Structure 1
Amino acid sequence: MSEPLPHLAFESHEHSLKNKVILVTGAGDGIGKQAAISYAQCGATVILLGRTTSKLEAVYDHIVSEGLTQPSIVPLDHEGATSTHYKGLADTIGEEYGRLDGILLNASVLGALCPFEEIKESEFDQVMQINVKAQVLMLQALLPLLREAQTSSVVFTTSSVGRVGRAFWGAYSMSKFATEGMMQILADEHKNKAIRFNCINPGATRTQMRAKAYPGEDANTLKTPSQIMPTYVYLMSDVSRGVSGESLDCQPK
């Protein structure tokens, strides 16, 4: 019998991410929310970024209620944010922490699932803005801070439809192909350096986006965000220092 993959067999503990500063986008809901909590439980100081302040405050309260390191909240809507906003974010993180050890790029939107010729220009623009362009601008602003860390990790969120195109998945599928490409470019540009770049495909997980894509599906048959966290913590921890340019599945077939 083959050995389990390292990211699936990884067992985290309260010091797995000790003293690390990690930014999580889309931290108010679903996988982003759970990742922020899990990172805090492993010793990290978490920066919670999302568009809905009340949801970020709920995650903040959850983390504080467990007696974990106090997180920070950054309300920011990727749809309207510009390079100036991301430069301001970098300045704030630099002043507060002096470095950035990790980023989980989790925020994304699904868009309409429809035939290719029915994709609306406005919806295509929205998906590409949030899922692709926002990540480009954010990373351009934050790379200097990531270089200040002894070792740092950037984790993108991908999908099976970002590896093999699927009918009717339109803009979302194209945005995830772009995500995979962005990760590979950055990993290649930073070969033999202290920053690593990888993708995670969470697979079928009990989230609002999954429910929107598969409205007839029984959510109780799906894994919860907490059940797929080993891979998320693994890629942020120093255990994965030699891993870069990879696209990992939380739920391999």
Structure 2
Amino acid sequence: MPLTSQIILITGAGGGLGGSAALALAKQGAELILLDKSIPKLEKVYDAIVEAGGPEPVMYPFDLAGANEAQYQDMADAIQQRYGALQGLLHSAAEFSAYTPITLHGTKEWGHTLNVNLNAAFLLTRMLLPLLQKSVQASIVFTSDSAVRRGQAYSGAYGVSKIALEALARILAAEFEAGQKIRVNTLVPGPVDSPIRKKAYPGEDKSRLREPNCMDALYCHLFGATSIGVTGQVFDAQTFTF
């Protein structure tokens, strides 16, 4: 179990990709902090991890869009008090409503999407960096989207947030590259049977899509010892091979 004693926080842990990543990492011994605004979804992932024999995770109900800076700091303080350090941070939470032309994009929807997909990722990362820096090695993984990451028409705030998120990851990786301590990479899942995919392409034949667990090995690689020293990279789950 190569991830034994590794403390990893996952946002969107109740979602399709986040939940699948949580189960995969827990099976490798990781102790997880599961973040999501939906308690029933967190409980479902919690039960799956315990039933699979993984370390008992911690559920942390948290609204990324609605929380203020003090609440983010309270979370970091709670992790500090319980664990003392953090070895991994997976940004898997995402907000998507529908493909919309810019001319029709609502201001409230625009702001909410950017808050969840970009601003929350920045704020959470900034708050947790001191805990990540206390580890001998630590990994931060951002999640992008192959469908919109190059400026697809009608992708709106969702597309803007994913493009900006990749830029944030590159900047952060460059800032920490010299220290060789914190590695920062981006994961692009590609077409996967997930709630966001279903919302974006409701008429799509889901039987042709890959299941979220197709990325289990890649998640374990990104948070495991095999990726130490690898930073500032974009990992395409469709083409990556070990």
TM over 0.5: yes
Measured against aligned partners, the alpha-carbon deviations of 1:163-196 in whole angstroms (never above 9, x if no partner) come to: 3111111111100011001001100110132001
What is the TM-score with the length of structure 1 in the denominator?
0.92
Contact 1:20–1:43, Cα closer than 8 Å, also in 2? yes
Contact 1:162–1:175, Cα closer than 8 Å, also in 2? no
Give the partner amino acid of 1:185.
I
Q: 2:204 aligns with which of 217, 220, 224?
A: 217
Q: Trace 1:1-253 onto structure 2 (pairs within 5 A).
A: 15-193=1-179, 194-252=181-239
Task: Give the drift of 1:152.
Answer: 0.2
For 1:9, the equivalent position in structure 2 comes to none
Contact 1:161–1:176, Cα closer than 8 Å, also in 2? no
RMSD of aligned Cα (Å): 1.2
Distance (whole Å) between structure 2 residues aligned to residue 63 and residue 169 of structure 1: 34
Distance (whole Å) between structure 1 residues aligned to residue 34 and residue 200 of structure 2: 26
Distance (whole Å) between structure 1 residues aligned to residue 234 and residue 149 of structure 2: 10
Task: Give the drift of 1:112.
Answer: 2.6
Distance (whole Å) between structure 1 residues aligned to residue 110 and residue 15 of structure 2: 23
Measured against aligned partners, the alpha-carbon deviations of 1:79-98 in whole angstroms (never above 9, x if no partner) come to: 10111111111111111111
Instruction: Tell me the number of residue pairs that the alignment of Structure 1 and Structure 2 aligns.
Output: 239
Measured against aligned partners, the alpha-carbon deviations of 1:89-128 in whole angstroms (never above 9, x if no partner) come to: 1111111111100011000111331112111111100110
What is the SS of the residue equivalent to 1:47?
A: strand
Distance (whole Å) between structure 2 residues aligned to residue 76 and residue 226 of structure 1: 24
Task: Give the drift of 1:159.
Answer: 1.2
| The 10-residue stretch of structure 1 (61-70 or 42-51) with the greater mean CA deviation from structure 2 | 61-70
Contact 1:17–1:44, Cα closer than 8 Å, also in 2? yes
Task: Give the drift of 1:161.
Answer: 4.2
Distance (whole Å) between structure 1 residues aligned to residue 151 and residue 202 of structure 2: 21
Distance (whole Å) between structure 2 residues aligned to residue 86 and residue 213 of structure 1: 30
- Structure 2: where are the runs of 5+ without partners? none
Distance (whole Å) between structure 1 residues aligned to residue 53 and residue 224 of structure 2: 21
Measured against aligned partners, the alpha-carbon deviations of 1:117-172 in whole angstroms (never above 9, x if no partner) come to: 11111110011000001111111110000001110000000112453111111111
Distance (whole Å) between structure 2 residues aligned to residue 40 and residue 192 of structure 1: 30
Distance (whole Å) between structure 2 residues aligned to residue 162 and residue 186 of structure 1: 21
- Structure 1: where are the runs of 5+ without partners? 1-14
What is the SS of the residue equivalent to 1:190?
A: helix
Measured against aligned partners, the alpha-carbon deviations of 1:194-250 in whole angstroms (never above 9, x if no partner) come to: 001010000000011101100110111000011122211111011101110011100
Distance (whole Å) between structure 2 residues aligned to residue 209 and residue 68 of structure 1: 27
Contact 1:23–1:47, Cα closer than 8 Å, also in 2? yes
